[in-house]
Amino acid sequence: MNMIQAINSALDVMMGRDPDVVVMGEDVGYFGGVFRATAGLQQKYGNHRVFDTPITECGIIGVAVGMGAYGLRPVPEIQFADYIYPALDQLVSEAARLRYRSAGEFISPMTVRSPFGGGIFGGQTHSQSPEGIFTHVSGVKTVIPSTPYDAKGLLIAAIEDNDPTIFFEPKRIYNGPFDGHYDTPAKSWAGHEQAQVPTGYYRVPLGEARVTRAGEALTVLCYGTMVHVVENTVAEMGVDAEILDLRTLVPLDIEAIERSVRKTGRCLIVHEATRTSGFGAELMAQVQERCFYHLEAPIERVTGFDTPYPHSLEWAYFPGPVRIREAINKILKD
Amino acid sequence: MSDRIDSDAGRDGAALGSGRNLPPLRLHVPEPKFRPGDTADFSDFDIPPAGAQARPDEVAQPGEMRDLAYGLVRVLDENGAAVGPWDPKLPAETLLKMLRAMALTRAFDGRMFRAQRQGKTSFYMKSTGEEAVSIGAALALASDDMCFPSYRQQGILIARGWPIIDMMNQIYSNKGDRLKGRQLPIMYSAREAGFFSISGNLTTQYPQAVGWAMASAARGDTRIAATWCGEGSTAEGDFHSACTFASVYRAPVIMNVVNNQWAISSFSGFAGAEATTFAARAIGYGIAGLRVDGNDALAVYAATRWAADRARSNAGPTLIEHFTYRVEGHSTSDDPSAYRSADEASHWPLGDPIARLKKHCIGLGIWDEERHAAMDKELAEMVRDAAREAEKNGILGHGLHHPMESMFEDVFEEMPWHLREQQQAMLDEWKAAGL
């Protein structure tokens, strides 16, 4: 399966298992979603469980909070992560706080799916990576898969989880892994070992990172599309890097990070999101606090620049192979 | 204003009209009629007589009942008699229950306001003058209908028989507070009473109520949802999204706008009241809209009952504007004499909701002044006794709160490592400091 099919399969599996699961969002019903992630679900489960909504993100999430309070398990879709901001009040002030402020009387077991990230000439409002906004909010979990296998397993785990979860789907790798070489033909997931996706139910637990490549020279912390860019760059360089796909940002798999950095003594953090106050800053702080005496070089970050996501200059902005290579060389030189 | 614009350097003079024979544009900024020092005068108020509004069938099309969004549904006339087609013809028992809940709410508000002034808690908000809005509605709903209130509907909890001592424990943030001292006073949550957790963020409960109602409908349930916001909060985007969703899916929901004329210091004109009524907004969404005398408990009851029946028969949502007056300050942190005429409340033409219902009950011969005075005394004592009991659980700042490590619970269902780590660090710091 490609990542879209894996996500579709996760929704199908969960709707079949749990009558409380409902899917809602702009264009998700009859049409099956602008990325086809919900294709066929309305036909299969009916329009009381899979339905199109008005174009109002604050309404979609607000309604999902109410449905959760009733006892349903909503899976709202925000068409692009760039359009999640109108729903921020409902997510930050309501969904994230509901269990805490009611001392557990009411909960918000929703999973907000949203395509995110760049690399598709999406310009300013179809490319953003706003995960740092959500990792800063107490009470929500933030999950980002990088493969079809993980996308399905993590989405199932998120839907089953009783806490509100932001599930960001890297749209650049919906149809195939992306190694950062934008000038070569696009690849498909066919043949990729992580594209072997069981058709039935399985979970990938939240809060656990995946070591995609074991190594000794340095640790690279990354997630989403950047996992593939890093994997490829490391292979091209012939560096013995250990690559961690974090998969869940909150709660973070701190043990896996600590274990790896203590072993390698060097750490690179890579994300598409802008640098200042991005999630990389938190990762840096954690590594510095926990692995200080094991560090042999300063921790480096390769991230998006602190600018809005540009259109024509996308490949200068994107943290691609050139920038990652430079950072790795710098870390290894120290 | 125009002088300043004309001298605004760097702007294109022609665009500002200097080269054109056009009158200058003027920005309209609403102003309330009365400010501090003014004598309030509501004599030009257009108040339709009680009983004058038609009562359409509960499943009528919104377009057939436009007048109801601009008029005022009233049942109790000047003499306290119930008149017209909206008279809910309630039995004596219900009328007295309503009267008692309203009086208890007022007694509770009085006591808790004083408790804040005595330093026993940090904050309180009264609902004086608006008791009919929450209590009339609560009694017209089924006990398992879910309410999504704002912070000024404490009357719903009281009408539903929720223990006032539990409310006080919450206000004192003491060890008896079920919300563990996490919430600002009055931000109650009482799932068992069908009372949704109150949020400080205005109008967020509106789409949530619609979502709850949609879930109930999708499930083939028979329960409906009701929600409340103030007229000031109708300006929030969530109001619009809720109305849109409610209309699109014909959600079984009642959306109440409590128009008490004031949003802290801003009069209702800043929410759009100069141009239209709040009930009339329903028309644009294709929702049934009713404008009701909010100080007339029978009118509130009747309108809510109508809307509930409408929702239960799958005829869709109703928006009800309750026209009332916020008699007291916005909160214990507010001094209304800084922005409005001091005597507005006493001149308010729709009177006091408790006095009006009392007059009605006396007129029916089921009540009298003596019994009312005795009830007020009994309720005051009841509230006093409950407050004393609650104070035994602690008052704010006196240490009888929940253990500090409980601060980290319920952020998530299970406490993740980073919260456990912070919790332990906090305890270690206090221990190291010898506390």
Residue B371 confidence class, pLDDT cut points 50, 70, 90: very high
For residue B359, CA distances in Å to B49, B223, B261, B296, B298 come to 17, 34, 25, 11, 12
Q: What is the pLDDT of residue B44?
A: 85
Q: Is the pLDDT of residue B61 over 90?
A: yes
For residues A125 and B397, the model is more confident at A125
Does the beta carbon of A188 lie under 8 angstroms from any beta carbon of chain B?
no
Beta strands in B195-267 (DSSP E): 225-230, 253-259, 262-263, 266-267
Contacts of residue B260, defined as CB under 8 A and 6 or more positions apart, other chains included, come to B129, B130, B152, B230, B231, B294, B324, B325, B326
Tell me which residue in B187, B191, B225 faces A106 most closely, judged by beta carbons. B191
Whole-angstrom CA distances from A221 to A194, A254, A256, A284, A298 are 19, 11, 10, 10, 14
Catalytic residues of A: 126
Rounded CA-CA distance B345/B352 in Å is: 9
What are the respective helix, strand and coil percentages of chain A, to the nearest 5? Answer: 40, 15, 40
**Which residue from B minimizes the CA distance to A24?**
B211
8 A C-beta contact, residue A32 and residue B223: no
For residues B88 and B99, give the distance between their C-alpha atoms in angstroms, rounded to a whole number.
15
pLDDT for B16 equals: 54
Report the pLDDT value the prediction gives residue B399, as an integer from 0 to 100: 82
B14-48 tens-digit pLDDT: 455 566 899 999 999 999 999 999 999 998 888 99
Q: Does the pLDDT at position B89 exceed 90?
A: yes
Which amino acid does the sequence have at B41?
D
Residue B110 burial (CB count, 10 A)? 15
Taking an 8 Å cut-off on Cβ atoms, the answer to whether B245 and A101 are in contact is: no
| Model pLDDT, residue B9 | 47
For residue B416, the chain A residue with the least C-alpha distance is: A251
pLDDT digits (tens, 9 = 90+) for A56-91: 999 999 999 999 999 999 999 999 999 999 999 999
- Given this model, what pLDDT does residue B43 score? 87
* Residue of B211, B412, B413 with shortest CB distance to A63: B211
Query: Within a 10 A sphere around the Cβ of A83, how many other Cβ atoms?
Result: 16
Please answer yes or no on whether B182 and A107 come within 8 Å at the CB atom: no
Alpha-carbon span B428 to B418, nearest angstrom? 15
Q: What chain A residue is nearest to B192 in terms of C-alpha separation?
A: A105
3-class SS at A222? strand
Mean pLDDT of B386-402: 93
Yes or no, beta carbons of B206 and A97 under 8 Å apart:
no
What is the rounded CA–CA span in Å between residue B176 and residue B166?
7
Q: Is A113 helix (H, G, I), strand (E, B) or coil?
A: strand
Cβ neighbours, 10 Å, residue B3: 7
Q: What is the mean pLDDT of chain B?
A: 95
Cβ neighbours of A250 in B, within 8 Å: 416
Residues in chain A within 8 Å Cβ distance of B403: none
Burial of A199 (0-12, 13-18, 19+ CB in 10 A): exposed
pLDDT more than 70, % of chain B: 96
pLDDT at B400: 83
pLDDT number for residue A143: 98
Closest-CA residue of A relative to B144 is: A70
Cis peptide before A76 (omega within 30 of 0): no
Q: Which of residues 96-155 of A touch B (CB under 8 A)?
A: 97-107, 138-139, 141
User: B273-318: per-residue pLDDT in tens?
Assistant: 999 999 999 999 999 999 999 999 999 999 999 999 999 999 999 9
Show residues of chain B in contact with A71, CB under 8 Å: 215
Residue A141 burial (C-beta neighbours within 10 Å; 0-12, 13-18, 19+):
buried
B406 Cβ contact partners less than 8 Å away, ≥ 6 residues apart: B180
What CA–CA distances, in Å, run from A107 to A111, B196, B410?
12, 11, 10
- Predicted ipTM? 0.97
**pLDDT attached to residue B18:** 60
pTM: 0.96
Beta-carbon separation of A62 and B201 below 8 A: no
User: What Å distances lie between residue B392 and A10, B175, B398, CA to CA?
Assistant: 52, 9, 11
> pLDDT truncated to tens, each residue of chain A (334 aa)?
999 999 999 999 999 999 999 999 999 999 999 999 999 999 999 999 999 999 999 999 999 999 999 999 999 999 999 999 999 999 999 999 999 999 999 999 999 999 999 999 999 999 999 999 999 999 999 999 999 999 999 999 999 999 999 999 999 999 999 999 999 999 999 999 999 999 999 999 999 999 999 999 999 999 999 999 999 999 999 999 999 999 999 999 999 999 999 999 999 999 999 999 999 999 999 999 999 999 999 999 999 999 999 999 999 999 999 999 999 999 999 7
DSSP B261: S
Q: Give the pLDDT confidence score for residue B2 in this predicted structure.
A: 43
What's the whole-number mean pLDDT along residues B339-349? Answer: 92
Beta-bridge partners for A24: A51, A76
